[in-house]
Amino acid sequence: MKRSHRGLRAGIFSLAFAALTVPVRAGHSTPLPDAAASSRMRSIPTDSFAGKSGKLRARIVSSRRSAGIRILRDLFGDSAASRPGIYQAPDSATGRPFSLISVLPFDARERGRLGTYRVGFWPGERRASWLETKAPEGFIEVTTGNQDTPLSDHFRLRDFLTHDQQSVWPKYLVLRDALIDKLELVILDLEHRGHAVSHMQVMSGFRTPQYNSRGVGSKGGRATDSRHQYGDAADVFVDNDRDGRMDDLNRDGRVDTRDAMVVIQSVERVESMHPDLVGGAGLYRATTAHGPFVHVDVRGSRARWGLK
Ligand SMILES: [Zn+2]
């Protein structure tokens, strides 16, 4: 626990979140609304919470997002904001479950771990300026019981987990819902162009710093300060037939970078319509290990690489 860090976050929500800085308990389960909260229960207003895509089915709630905190308290009582977990209520449009995901604070790590799950250290995290402006908002606790929680119409929590420590539970995830919204907007754009998308595969979503660092350099091809460590990047391909490779989106009889370019062109249109979702887009050609895929992120400034 770094007290200096907590001091930096002084604000009107700091009192409410003080109770979050408790040691991580293994096997922490999804809280259910207590009886008092149930009597107050209404629905999640889909118009403000379903995102620009209208496809979000979850929102990540942290001290930096007042709207999410307000509705979490309103629906589940004051204590919900101080208990990390997944809180569900029906959405106002369809009555389907909508999740409010309350996160563990970023400073809950001890020696680079949360419980028995190894996370590591972010490049630059020793600087106060980094903690103020760049640090992730917190960690989603993912259990065997909640990993299938829908984040949107096409994505679940488990899709974005780091691919390591297979037998360690709970796992922890950094994720921004702006990324999920952007991916859903890309899917909508593809569908408007005649490319039905029933499944978009996430090859790599969140990468813990300790996992990312193993692939830095000429062999792994990962950036030291990769956006994947901030939960706002995903490497994806359209895989409706679930064969583990990109589909033949341009229907030219082969799967290659031209199909990945179809996805990149959708990213371009989404960014021009929604400048606040601007970010990186990279094209990766097929290797013996994987088919062609596209990197998408919401870093806040335009970046492009690998494009033909
Ligand atoms: Zn990537």
Residue closest to 142 by CA, chosen among 130, 154, 151: 151
Cα(251) to ligand 1 centroid in Å equals 25
253 and 305 part of one domain: yes
Total number of domains in the chain: 2
Measure 233 CA to ligand 1 centroid, in angstroms: 6
SS3 (DSSP) at 294? strand
Q: Name which of 79, 81, 113 is nearest 13 in CA terms.
A: 81
Distance from Cα 189 to the centre of ligand 1, integer Å: 21
Please name the residue that has the structure tokens 């029906």.
90
pLDDT given at position 29: 45
Do both 137 and 181 map to the same domain?
no
Tokens of 139: 């960690």
Say if residue 214's pLDDT is above 90.
Answer: no
Alpha carbon of 57 to ligand 1 centroid (Å): 24
Q: How far is the CA of 295 from the centre of ligand 1 (A)?
A: 4
Residue 157 lies in a domain: no
15 pLDDT more than 80: no
Report CA(280)–ligand 1 centroid distance (Å).
9
- Asked which of 22-36, 206-220, 262-276 is least confident by mean pLDDT, the reply is 22-36
Residues 121, 209: contact at Cβ < 8 Å? yes
Residue 1: domain span: 1-145
Mean pLDDT along residues 283-303: 96
Distance 277 CA to ligand 1 centre (A): 16
Q: How confident is the model at residue 42 (pLDDT cuts 50, 70, 90)?
A: confident
Residue 167 domain-assigned? no
Query: What's the CA-to-centroid distance between 237 and ligand 1, angstroms?
Result: 12
| Residue 9 domain flag | yes
Asked whether residue 141 falls in the same domain as residue 59, the answer is yes
3 & 139 share domain: yes
Q: In what order do the strands lie in the sheet with 200-204?
A: 200-204, 233-238, 293-297, 280-284, 303-305
Q: DSSP letter string over 167-200?
A: T-SSEEE---HHHHHHHHHHHHHHHHTT---S-E
Residue 169 falls within a domain, yes or no?
A: no
Note the Cα 206 to chain centre separation in Å: 7
User: In angstroms, rounded to a whole number, what is the distance separating the alpha carbons of residues 229 and 307?
Assistant: 23
The answer to whether residue 218 is domain-embedded is: yes
Q: Is residue 163 part of a domain?
A: no
Residue 144 token pair:
């065997």
26, 134: one domain: yes
- Report the CATH number that the domain containing residue 234 is assigned in CATH: 3.30.1380
Q: Is 275 contained in some domain?
A: yes
Separation of alpha carbons 120 and 111, rounded Å: 8
CA dist 300 and 286 (Å) reads: 28
Q: How far is the CA of 203 from the centre of ligand 1 (A)?
A: 9
Query: How remote is the CA of residue 228 from the centroid of ligand 1, in Å?
Result: 6
56-73 burial code (b ≥16 CB/10 A, e <16): bbbbbbbbeeeebbebbb
Query: pLDDT tens digits, residue range 170-198?
Result: 999 999 999 999 999 999 999 999 999 99
Per the prediction, the chain carries an average pLDDT of: 86
Regarding whether 217 and 102 lie in a shared domain, the answer is no
155, part of any domain: no
> DSSP states of 39-79 as a string?
HH---B-HHHHSTTTS-B-EEEE-TT-HHHHHHHHHHH-GG
The answer on 2 and 127 residing in a single domain is yes
- Which of 89, 123, 145 is the C-terminal boundary of a domain? 145
C-alpha 160 – ligand 1 centre gap (Å):
12
pLDDT at 11 over 70: no
How far is 32 from 203, CA to CA, in rounded Å? 32
**Dist. CA 162–CA 76, nearest whole Å:** 30
pTM: 0.86
Tens-place pLDDT, residues 124-158: 899 999 988 899 999 999 999 999 999 999 999 99
Residues 112 and 193 occupy one common structural domain: no
Ligand 1 center to residue 219 CA distance, Å?
15
Amino acid at 109: R
Q: In this structure, what token pair is assigned to residue 19?
A: 């109770």
Which of 125, 145, 165 terminates a domain? The answer is: 145
- Tell me which of 104 and 16 has the higher pLDDT: 104
Q: What is the pLDDT of residue 181?
A: 98
How far is Cα 220 from Cα 204, in angstroms, rounded to an integer? 13
Let me know whether 21 and 103 are in one domain: yes
Residue 2 Cα to ligand 1 middle (Å): 30
Q: Tell me if residue 141 falls in helix, strand or coil.
A: strand
Q: Sort 78 into a burial class: Cβ within 10 Å, 0-12 / 13-18 / 19+.
A: exposed
My answer on whether 228 and 126 are in the same domain is: no
207 Cα–ligand 1 center, Å: 10
Q: Which of 94, 124, 145 is the last residue of a domain?
A: 145
Average pLDDT over residues 193-212: 97
- For residue 181, which amino acid is it? D
Cα of 174 vs centre of ligand 1, distance in Å, is 15
Cα of 108 vs centre of ligand 1, distance in Å, is 26
* Same-domain check for residues 121 and 185: no
Please indicate, yes or no, whether residues 123 and 200 belong to a single structural domain of this protein.
no
C-alpha of residue 212 to centroid of ligand 1, in Å: 11
What is the CA(298)–ligand 1 centre distance, in A? 12
